[in-house]
Structure 1
Amino acid sequence: MFILENIINFFNSILWGKNILVILLIFSGMFFTFKTNFVQLRFLKHMIELLTTKSKGNDENLSPFQAFCISTATRVGAGNLAGVVSAISIGGAGAIFWMWVVAFLGAATAFVETTLALIFREKDKDGQFFGGPCFFLKNGLNKKSWGIAFVITGIICWAGVLQVVSNSVTESFNVAFNISPITISVLLTLLAGIVIFGKTDKTAKVLDKIVPIMAILYLSIVFFIILKNFTLLPNVFSQIFSEAFGIRQGVGGTIGAVIMQGVKRGLFSNEAGTGSAPCAAASADVSHPVQQGLIQSLGVFVDTFVICTATALVVLLTKSSILEGLNGMELLQKSFNYHLGSIFGEIFVAVILFLFCFSTLLGICFYGKVNIKFLTEKESGQIAFKIFALSMIFIGGIQQNLFMWNLADFGLALMTIINLSGVFPLSKIAFESLKDYEKIKESVKVF
């Protein structure tokens, strides 16, 4: 195990430590933004219309909204809480500005990878759609071995994420309610098992209920905090923009450190370019691939510009003297305690973290289902992955393993590289699909 840890840490020090992945993803976002002529801006209103329009979805396939909820569930997790706080702790308020920048660019990447996932998806004998990077690598580039590699690296990443997320929930409940980690771990595992096992997978139906509820609950409380501190908002936004292009005193970092913190945490949070969200999007029942591509692009905006910004404002509206020397979830906890009172603050963070993390766990289980389908049609493969996923949830809940963070980083980096190895050579097909969709929209306007 020691040797394995050293190997993974070595590769992480190159891929993440040298900012190779950060540069790759930023370049991808800029390239796809210009090649699509700023699709994330031009179609923003249409994205919302597509999401709010009553859409079809049947027993076999997901509705566009259900696919959106699954991918949003995995994006809107512990990273939106601890990740944002970490960015502020290390890079200062200015890191939030760079999270916005990377989300804006990443929305174009999300559009392209999702559109390709729908173009090259497959349908099984039950009429259910399956797609994602492994499928467009096989069907678009004739690189089945690359698809298998994506599945393996995905499982490595998700094994780490499942444990990390589970541990975040058990720790927060231990702090707020003094409930033992093993009790919450068992509860989490049982709840997840009830959803993913059974005659039908209930993940989509559960998440299209949980995601709107947790978003409304979280944003309602944050909106209350913002209203209560409305007069401080100009100073907060001034701080964000001034520190984005300056040096944060007391941290000892340069503008480069501020930028990199915002970029890294933004990438971790919105997942654009990693290839995970298209695994859910490809199951959507839509009339044109571009429609779901646009909806997934909107998901990046929701994740960063709405949820992450809400978290950042709660922290930045808190007296700095109260947060001095704190970081991570402890800093966030103190921020909510300051605004809501210690008792309600601790309870709220525990409950919202449970909802965020539980939805993430379910979303990852859905991703696993799609990717195992690529490897084998046998039901035994699905059962094996579900047991594996539940094991990771249980183990992660009862003990903190810092190696799991590194494992998740390692798997995510490899997933991203393999995914973009398919997205770039196939991107012209996505661009042509966008042009086709624009022609259809124009013809509808004429008639």
Structure 2
Amino acid sequence: MEEFVNWLAGLVWGNGLVILALGAGLIFTVATRFVQVRYFKEMIKLLFEGKSSEEGISSFQAFCLALSGRVGVGNIAGVATAIAFGGPGAVFWMCVMALLGGASAFIESTLAQVYKTKVGNEYRGGTPYFIEKGLGLKWFAVLMAVVVTISYGFLTPGVQANNIAAGMENAFGINKIVTGIFLVVLLGAIIFGGVKRIASVSQTVVPFMAGGYVVMTFVILAANIKEIPEMISLIITSAFGVNQAFGGIVGAAIAWGVRRSIFSNVAGAGEATYSSAAAEVSHPAKQGLVQAFSIYIDTIVVCTATALMILVTGMYNVTPEGKEPIVQPLENIEAGPAYTQMAVETVIPGFGSAFVSIAIFFFAFTTLMAYYYIAETTLVYLSGKQDIPWLKTILKIVLLIMTFVGCVYSASTMWALGDIGFGSMAWLSFIAILLLIKPALKVLKDYDIQKRAGKDPVFNPIKAGIKGADFWEEKCIEVEKKSSLDSKSII
């Protein structure tokens, strides 16, 4: 059974997905005229501009909720794996994919806003919702929703939980069962509080955890300041095959850099679409820009922080798949959090294990919160866009069970299950947003026109030439009615 799971995970995460992600990112970057670059200042401005409402969360809360899903064990363990199998050059290609991924993130999150809906007293939306409304393919939307619900509710939670439990056991000697019980109780208290509580916890924890991790990176770099130029040279020369030691694994550097970038920031894979749809904004492109910025934080900042700590201290091995080791200063050390632990140990002896374990706890725990919200949103879709409490309760129980199982079960099995679920979702999501590029570009054009006119963009789907944006059409009608009544009252 384990061999079959590993085989299936390898099939899903093959070179096809690497090519699809790179190609989609490049297409979106060119089609949007580098939206992730030319609107960089606007992204930061919009991050703190929106406010929450009774129905929706603020742009910053949606940003933090999406970032809590993006920033997980992939930012620590995933980066180490990319270096171990692809060499230092993988870091460069990881950042390239992040830059291209900014455009993919803009497209998917903008679409999520365009085709969102209101269920009860909450905004709901995401990939299945915009597949149904934008493409008119109900079967495709249902397939997407089923895959996402199974993936985030059952397959992927174990990856995050397993790393938390392993870290706590290694650093503090805490039994994995004890960690599992603690996680279930803490996570249950949050997810049973609904999306508002999840968003509130995310906006408090995410900035704190990312900031603390970056501060530690600066401490490590400052202690090794003389090695920084050599490290940068190593990354660049390895990425393009110029370095003598790593010249023969350029293909592996590209493949592993792209894979781990996708796994970490999930740009284009649909994960951030659900929180994006929940945001209260006046124009869909605004949330698209905010979520594009989250890619920079996840990969360019947090993932690169991990890579720099590992590389500047030399605490890594490089053994390409199926080949002999190229670099192996760490004997009998498996690629993963141990690389970062040992990097910190070189500067602050006795602190590495504790620091990395605490970082993993915060990174992975906030990801588990995001997983529940995503699975809940797709479950609501499968329920006919109705809020059915008992179904949500079952989902919560299943996710909490898988969280506990992940703490005590085999790490390799948990990673393989997570790869299957996430990879399957990524394939479907990339296909969907490529098919919906035209309406997304129309929304961006509408935003560009209003910005050039000096306006604060407000979305009208009819003027923008977008069909199926029912929520926004109804909102425009309400605004017109209110404006008409106000005019009459003045007269």
Give the alignment of 1:29-428 within 5 angstroms. 29-53=25-49, 55-126=50-121, 128-158=122-152, 159-198=154-193, 201-246=196-241, 253-319=248-314, 323=330, 326=333, 327-342=335-350, 344-376=351-383, 377=386, 378-428=388-438
By how many angstroms is 1:248 displaced?
Answer: 6.4
C-alpha distance in structure 2 between counterparts of 1:144 and 1:403, whole Å: 33
Q: Which amino acid aligns with 2:287?
A: Q
By how many angstroms is 1:89 displaced?
Answer: 1.3
- TM-score, reference length from structure 1: 0.94
2:240, 2:247 within 8 Å by CA — same for their partners in 1?
no
1:92, 1:248 within 8 Å by CA — same for their partners in 2?
no
Q: Which amino acid aligns with 1:86?
A: T
1:70, 1:363 within 8 Å by CA — same for their partners in 2?
yes
1:111, 1:297 within 8 Å by CA — same for their partners in 2?
yes
Identity of aligned residues (%): 38
Quick one: which of 6, 12, 16 aligns to 2:13? 16
2:106, 2:288 within 8 Å by CA — same for their partners in 1?
yes
- In the alignment of these two chains, the number of paired residues is 439
Change (3 A) 1:180 1:359: same
Q: Does 1:441 align with 2:451?
A: yes
By how many angstroms is 1:246 displaced?
Answer: 1.3
1:14, 1:20 within 8 Å by CA — same for their partners in 2?
no
By how many angstroms is 1:277 displaced?
Answer: 0.8
- Listed one character per residue, the Cα deviations across residues 177-230 of structure 1 (whole Å, up to 9, x for unaligned) are 111001111111100000011477510000100001101111111112222222
1:90, 1:251 within 8 Å by CA — same for their partners in 2?
no
Q: Which runs of 5+ in 2 are unaligned?
A: 316-327, 457-491
C-alpha distance in structure 1 between counterparts of 2:9 and 2:58, whole Å: 37
Residue in structure 1 matched with residue 487 of structure 2 by the alignment: none
| Larger Rg computed on CA atoms | 2
C-alpha distance in structure 2 between counterparts of 1:252 and 1:410, whole Å: 31
Quick one: which of 429, 437, 441 aligns to 2:439? 429
Change (3 A) 1:83 1:248: farther
Change (3 A) 1:337 1:41: same
C-alpha distance in structure 2 between counterparts of 1:421 and 1:97, whole Å: 26
1:195, 1:201 within 8 Å by CA — same for their partners in 2?
no
Residue in structure 2 matched with residue 26 of structure 1 by the alignment: 22
2:195, 2:373 within 8 Å by CA — same for their partners in 1?
no
Change (3 A) 1:97 1:423: same
- Listed one character per residue, the Cα deviations across residues 388-433 of structure 1 (whole Å, up to 9, x for unaligned) are 1111111111222523322222222221222223212221111011
Q: Which has the higher helix share?
A: 1
Change (3 A) 1:336 1:110: same
1:244, 1:259 within 8 Å by CA — same for their partners in 2?
yes
1:437 aligns to what SS in structure 2? helix
